[in-house]
Structure 1
């Protein structure tokens, strides 16, 4: 009687354990999301730093060179101011794309000339660079909140140099609307206003604050355009932009021109129509359909 004794070639082998490989895999599974999150935040921080550095350095350049050339060459002042503002707008969009990784479609071209009024929905910190890049050949006057006229490098001086109408929500509304209307009536460049007044949290079209818009529409006869953007609303604030710039999928559509109401006429129906068109255009953008 023989007894079968398995040798090394016939014994069943236990699964091989590669401790180093398994530990590395566990680390990668656990830490890749953390590393990715840190990478995204670092990219956002670098984008803000690249933009902020130019704004800080550009402040004295704007005060001395840009403003100085505008005084020395009054006949070329509009061209000088437009060149500078378009440079800043395109630089900010470049930084968001190249440094931040944002996907931003070039905004549609709008006629940048006297008598043009642009109404734009308000989603993010990139809205102003987008509308400046869209308007050609002249820069816009942008209705601006008073808090931006103080203590902001380059921006605060720009509000004065470019004669932006400044509004303070807590100040006397009638006085502000009168001043806004006069600024609009005499503007040699296009005007731009965010009718919502502030950025919405979900990117939908919010309620319009009509007082300022009524004042502008009543100041003169306008050719009105709508600029509707989407894909930016998760970067509404600077801190949001820093965290989400790499996820931006920005797109825009322009509608118009629309004949504005005659000065002195009630603009209520016109305003309601413009808001409805903006809502439909945003819905079309989100559905991937052409805006009407």
Structure 2
């Protein structure tokens, strides 16, 4: 029953945000992006709070970099599910995050689709041409120069359905950094792959803990080769952190005599 209440609550919040953002976008052109940013931050954080309260969902955030974060920076994270968007917004409560996401998310999801397609995020057609993709990324980079927003990139390019950290691709990060050199923060997340599909969400939400850790703050790259080196370091430390969580989970599973039961809350999900 709690999971049903949580899912209905999430749907209600998304619909409220959708209506409010549409009103701001079409009726308040002067302040529409500021209003949409506030609604994005409020909506995504309230969604996490509702799912925590009623769905038995937990977020374990390790944010030792919070005091040293600048106003603008690039977020580099591994990618496991659509839930990553809400969790990353939750992890950076004082910053306005703008995501690089696949174009398909620009339609069909209340609140989320309008936010991504009209809120100065970058929607990428993975089957489209290089010019269109590059133009979207340049628009995001230029917007981040004029406004205090933080672009977020998932360099794997797609979700890892088994939780393994895949190869990082440099094209999106390099394009953004070329037009707006930014510090970068590496972020490791784990747990989303278990609730990536609706069926898994209903089965696994209760007792699931989403792990998030801010790892390192990198200075803005000075040269083209610095971007690739930064990505390689970020990939390696994110992979180490995710693997560490999984080893701890396996050890805990062995200590408890097998796979976790429905009543046991894993701190690793």
TM-score, structure 2 as length reference? 0.79
Report how far residue 198 of structure 1 moved: 2.0
Asked if 1:67 is matched to 2:10, the reply is no
Give the distance between the partners of 1:173 and 1:194, measured in 2 at CA: 18
Equivalent residue for 1:57?
16
Distance 1:56 1:104 in 2: 24
Give the conservation status (yes or no) of the 8 Å contact 2:17–2:39.
no
In structure 2, the partner of 1:3 is: none
Q: Quick check: 1:182–1:219 contact (8 Å CA) kept in 2? A: no
**Map of 2:42 onto structure 1:** 87
* Pair 1:162-2:119 in alignment: yes
Residue in structure 2 matching 1:105, options 60, 74, 93: 60
Q: Which residue of 2 aligns with 1:200?
A: 160
Shift of 1:113: 2.5
CA distance in 2, matches of 1:243, 1:112: 39
Q: 1:218 to 1:210 in 2, by over 3 A?
A: same
2:237 paired with 1:277: yes
Offset at 1:169?
A: 0.6
Establish whether residue 148 from structure 1 lines up as the match of residue 148 from structure 2: no
Report SS of the residue matched to 1:190.
Answer: strand
Tell me which structure has the larger Cα radius of gyration.
Answer: 1
Cα deviation code 1:155-203 (max 9, x no counterpart): 2221233111110011002431243134213412111011112221221
Q: Call closer, same or farther: CA 1:166–1:265 in 2, change over 3 Å.
A: same
> Cα distance, 1:61 vs. partner?
2.0
Change in Cα spacing, 1:151 to 1:202, as seen in structure 2 (3 Å) is closer
1:228-277 CA-to-partner distances (Å, cap 9, x unmatched) read 11233211223321221003122211022112322545632222222112
In structure 2, the CA distance between the partners of 1:262 and 1:238, relative to structure 1 (3 Å rule), is: farther
**Unaligned 5+ residue runs, structure 1?**
1-41
Deviations 1:115-145 (A, max 9, x none): x000111123321111112224231110121
What is the alpha-carbon distance in structure 1 between the residues aligned to residue 209 and residue 107 of structure 2? 32
- Runs of at least 5 residues in structure 2 that lack an aligned partner in the other structure: 249-269
Partner Cα distance (1:152, 1:244) in 2: 21
Contact 1:221 1:263 in 2 (8 A): no
SS in 2 for 1:203: coil
Contact 2:120–2:143, Cα closer than 8 Å, also in 1:
no
Number of residues of Structure 1 aligned to a counterpart in Structure 2: 243
